[in-house]
Structure 1
Amino acid sequence: MKVNAKDRELNGRSTTMRWLREHKDEAEQRQWDIMNHNASAAVKMIERVATLPQGRRMVRLGSEMLQGYTEKDWITWWQRREIQDHCEKIFAPVGETARRLGVRLSFHPGQFCVLASESDEIVERSILEFEYHADMARWMGYGTAWHDHGFKINVHLSGKGGPAKFLKTLGRLTPEARNLITIENDEMTNGLDTTLAVAQHVALVLDVHHHWINSGEYIEPQDVRTSRVIDSWRGVRPAMHFSTSREDILVDHDSGVRPDLAELLARGYKKQKLRAHSDFCWNRAVNAWVLDFRDQFDIQVEAKGKNLASEQLYEQYISQHL
């Protein structure tokens, strides 16, 4: 899983707010260098993914493409007209390349982006963070219509404010952000039934591992709730998230048998441990189950070894359909 020298140009670069504070004379140049590299790297990554089979052409872009975009020390700098114009110039080829080569893109802001928080302060910070991702998507040419080319900016429906607070916050987002936002079910609090409460207002991402942790259920493609998730995309092909509990937690578990949550909990396993994503798609029985969704969804693998794990799942799909 180490990066080969020839692949380093595909990876983004970053810095820290501390470094920028301690090197004020060099800070702006560092920002220019990082933003230019990261936009170029995204294009190269998309071009690389476009060489894969059609069924694997998806890229989740990193949230740290622009350093400190919402931080108090840098937010004014990023909003300068010449910086915004430059960002539009360097990000436009990212979207153009993805559309030309048929690669589906997405963002996934961190779990600190809580649009349904009871805290108004957290909501304000979350809106800034979400709109940062919407800015990048807009520069790439997305957001003017409902889920352009399947592009999505996905966040959890987390926060004690629940659906009511989320819908209130949703109304404060820019039109581009509202066109691109998707909501996924959480594994510990706001599960699938909660996210379905906002299905008329926003597209839903079905995270089947989160649902399993939350309920112990392996939901089926023909389930009425699955149909409601699909309907929330309004004719756009939906995306779902897939992962499995870690290999080093379920040591020696038969890869031909799906884990049983109730049994594992009875044996002393903890949900906090079981919720963590595995490195690879190691359980062939779980893989076979999730591949039943393939005709209806794009399956995005959230394993730690994403590229290798998605290849593993794809190869099992091919072997099952020979």
Structure 2
Amino acid sequence: MKVRLGFVANSLALWDSSPSKTMTYRRFTELPHDERMEKLIEVTRKNLEHTKRILYYCAAHEIELYRLSSSLVPLATHPDVEWDFHSPFKKEWKELGNLIKSFGIRASFHPNQFTLFTSPKQHVTDNAVKDMVYHYRMLEYMGIEKESVINIHIGGTYGDKKAALERFHENLNAIPPEVKEIMTLENDDKTYNVEETLAACQKEDIPMVLDIHHHEANLGSLPLEDCLEDIFKTWDRRDLVPKIHISSPKSDKAFRSHADYVNPDFVEPFFKTLKKFGRDVDFMIEAKYKDLAMLKLTEDLASIRGVKRISGGVLEF
């Protein structure tokens, strides 16, 4: 059984490497008209350059799992901007995709909490579709859309969970088929637990991303172990290794908040449970200290008897 570990967006080990530099719409409108696009291009180019640096960092540390920043392109989906972020960067997008492929990195996206399909308001659904397409286009420009995923949560309940779930399934029909083909769903820490998310995934034939921290904060009626085989099966259609999100609570009081690092005592019981299934999995580390936390957890888990570290970010047992 092989476990790959990865991190989200920014590398804290690299100086000034954020791939999520922003430009607000207010700042955009304050600029003279002839400088607006120039500034957007400048910020986006910097984000793409920083992503390139991070990919080289991943390769140097043998990290095979990385979540791309959703904020690579400022104002990409703003209704009053929606600019062409492909033509000025054809070379850069292609280079990023080639690096991801040549380094053997599994890349993904995770749009923010506002990208949801349970809202009774049509404009919320329309914006969610637009955001999903934006993420798909970036993967497409890099040439990695076939092997990547775009992960979201189900959303809210709006006072009626049954009705919200019905809307969710109906609203998914608005997503272009090629985009829906690569989406995944993740259980959340307040509303839709593992069993509910799994049921939605099975109904839509969508892979499920398990978040063990969210599970502990939002328990269902079944032990997690009883759901794992069915969760893994949701990935079979795409022939991809199941992905699992890993973090630990900041404190007992702030249980849902992510700690700076991952407490190995919080993760180890689940890690040992996985051994019963003997299936390769990928761990996306969602701790505050990003790559530093990921590398630390790799060391911590490698110290468990029977676990062998076979590269910078890969374990075997």
- CA distance change for structure 1 residues 44 and 65 in 2, over 3 Å: closer, same or farther? same
Q: Which residue of 2 aligns with 1:16?
A: 24
Q: Which residue of 2 aligns with 1:290?
A: 270
Structure 1: runs of 5 or more not aligned? 251-268
- CA distance change for structure 1 residues 127 and 285 in 2, over 3 Å: closer, same or farther? same
Deviations for 1:59-103, whole angstroms, at most 9, x for unmatched residues? 11111111111112202xx14xxx533344421211211111011
Q: Which residue of 1 aligns with 2:155?
A: 158
Q: Which residue of 1 aligns with 2:288?
A: 304
Alpha-carbon distance in structure 1 between the residues aligned to 2:188 and 2:12:
31
Q: Which residue of 2 aligns with 1:129?
A: 131
Indicate the percent of aligned positions where both proteins have the same amino acid: 25
Alpha-carbon distance in structure 2 between the residues aligned to 1:116 and 1:99:
35
Name the structure with the higher strand share: 2
**What amino acid is aligned across from residue 73 of structure 1 in structure 2?**
D
The counterpart of 2:48, out of the listed 39, 56, 60, is 39
The counterpart of 1:101, out of the listed 95, 100, 103, is 103
Deviations for 1:186-209, whole angstroms, at most 9, x for unmatched residues? 111111111112223211100111
The counterpart of 1:142, out of the listed 144, 169, 184, is 144
Q: Find out whether 1:72 has 2:93 as its counterpart.
A: no
Are 2:110 and 2:151, in contact at CA under 8 Å, matched by a contact in 1?
yes
Alpha-carbon distance in structure 2 between the residues aligned to 1:51 and 1:207:
28
Q: Which residue of 2 aligns with 1:60?
A: 67
Alpha-carbon distance in structure 1 between the residues aligned to 2:12 and 2:242:
31
The counterpart of 1:244, out of the listed 221, 243, 248, is 248
Q: CA deviation at 1:2?
A: 10
- Say which SS state the counterpart of residue 227 (structure 1) adopts: helix
- Say which SS state the counterpart of residue 65 (structure 1) adopts: coil
Q: Which residue of 2 aligns with 1:196?
A: 198
Deviates more, 1:153-162 or 1:303-312: 153-162
Q: Which residue of 2 aligns with 1:7?
A: 15
Q: Which residue of 2 aligns with 1:281?
A: 262
Are 1:131 and 1:177, in contact at CA under 8 Å, matched by a contact in 2?
yes
Alpha-carbon distance in structure 2 between the residues aligned to 1:185 and 1:27:
39
Corresponding residue pairs, total: 283
Deviations for 1:3-48, whole angstroms, at most 9, x for unmatched residues? 57x6324644222211111113321111111122222221221111
Normalised by the length of structure 1, the TM-score is 0.80
Between 1 and 2, higher relative CO (CA 8 Å, sep ≥ 6) is seen in 2
Q: Find out whether 1:211 has 2:195 as its counterpart.
A: no
| RMSD of equivalent CA atoms | 2.4
Q: Which residue of 2 aligns with 1:175?
A: 177
Alpha-carbon distance in structure 2 between the residues aligned to 1:219 and 1:88:
48
Q: CA deviation at 1:58?
A: 1.5
Are 2:19 and 2:72, in contact at CA under 8 Å, matched by a contact in 1?
no
Deviations for 1:247-278, whole angstroms, at most 9, x for unmatched residues? xx34xxxxxxxxxxxxxxxxxx4xxx311111
Q: CA deviation at 1:218?
A: 10
- Say which SS state the counterpart of residue 75 (structure 2) adopts: coil
Normalised by the length of structure 2, the TM-score is 0.82
Alpha-carbon distance in structure 2 between the residues aligned to 1:110 and 1:302:
14
Residue correspondence of structure 1 range 79-94 to structure 2 within 5 A: 79=84, 83-94=85-96
Alpha-carbon distance in structure 2 between the residues aligned to 1:97 and 1:217:
43
**What amino acid is aligned across from residue 60 of structure 1 in structure 2?**
R
Are 2:151 and 2:184, in contact at CA under 8 Å, matched by a contact in 1?
yes
Alpha-carbon distance in structure 1 between the residues aligned to 2:222 and 2:295:
22
Alpha-carbon distance in structure 1 between the residues aligned to 2:60 and 2:165:
40
Structure 2: runs of 5 or more not aligned? 1-9, 158-162, 309-317
- Say which SS state the counterpart of residue 134 (structure 2) adopts: helix
Runs of 4+ in 1 over 6 A off after TM superposition: none
Deviates more, 1:7-16 or 1:111-120: 7-16
Q: CA deviation at 1:142?
A: 2.7
